[in-house]
Amino acid sequence: MAKAMICVLDKKGNEVKDKRIEVLFNPSDYATAVNVSWVEKEGSPPEFKGSNFDKFSVTLLFDTYESRADVREDHTESGKLIKGTKSLVELTFPSEAGANSKNPPMCLFTWGKFNFKGYVEKVDQKFTMFLSDGIPVRATVTLTMRPAVTAQEMLKLKGAEACRKVRVVKEGERLDFIASEELKNPLLWRAIAEANDIADPFNFPGPQDIGRILIIPD
């Protein structure tokens, strides 16, 4: 079975070396949530105001009881680097490349065919097993991410335009495939490309496009 992992991406959407976090145990579940705003006027039906993009959360288990290593720290087992819980906490800090502007690192959670690209918003740690000297060797960590969207994508999903259909891009989904599924006509791929300002539709999707939210034109 494929292992879930979290990758740090650079500005071009490429994975940053030595920043990958491969989980010890695959999660039993994950969750997404979306908030919708409505304006209610007396005597009138609620009016759609806009929506916020889905948030993603997942709980991961860290267990180093057998090796007796501190579950918070990176360590080596059988020649393999095992990431500790602090590696997830560090995803909330500004990246080195964005130190001047204090930008958080772009992250990609991937598990099989599921991908979610965004920023780590919250890390909740719960330590549940300890050695006799108090060193934690088991923890559950709940990771909450918010999606990475451009200002233009945000504007398109506010107000009246938010009533339009959207789709999250998955690996291997070409524009003609998306057009076939969403618009029932693969020849309408160009309309999707234009609606989302995709400069190079023939090489879509690239690594930076995985997890992107596309507007599906009417």
Looking at residue 165, its pLDDT comes to 75
Nearest to 108, CA basis, from 99, 118, 100, 98: 118
Q: Is residue 160 pLDDT above 50, yes or no?
A: no
Instruction: Give the mean model confidence (pLDDT) for residues 45-56.
Output: 69
Of the pLDDT bands very low, low, confident and very high (cuts 50, 70, 90), residue 96 is low
Q: Is residue 117 pLDDT above 60, yes or no?
A: yes
Tokens 């650079």 -> residue = 10
DSSP, residue by residue, 62-123: EE-TTTT--TTS-EEETTEEE--THHHHGGGSPPSTTTTTTPPPEEEEEETTEEEEEEEEEE
Q: What is the DSSP letter of 43?
A: T
Looking at residue 63, its pLDDT comes to 96
Domain residue ranges of the chain, discontinuous segments joined by +: 5-148, 152-216
| Mean model confidence pLDDT for the chain | 84
Distance CA 45, CA 48 (A): 10
Looking at residue 53, its pLDDT comes to 64
What tokens appear for 48 in the block? 């759609």
Distance CA 56, CA 113 (A): 16
What Cα–Cα distance (Å) separates residue 114 from each residue in 99, 156, 163, 211?
Answer: 30, 25, 25, 9
For residue 55, list its beta bridge partners. 33
Q: Is residue 176 pLDDT above 80, yes or no?
A: yes
Q: With beta carbons less than 8 A apart as the criterion, state whether 81 and 94 touch.
A: no
For residue 80, list its beta bridge partners. 77
- Asked which of 135-144, 163-172, 185-194 is least confident by mean pLDDT, the reply is 163-172
Q: Is residue 71 pLDDT above 50, yes or no?
A: yes
Q: What share of the chain in percent tops pLDDT 70?
A: 85
Q: Is residue 125 pLDDT above 80, yes or no?
A: yes
Q: Is residue 161 pLDDT above 50, yes or no?
A: no
> Can you tell me whether residue 198 is helix, strand or coil?
coil
Instruction: Give the mean model confidence (pLDDT) for residues 69-95.
Output: 91
Q: How many residues are there in the chain? A: 218
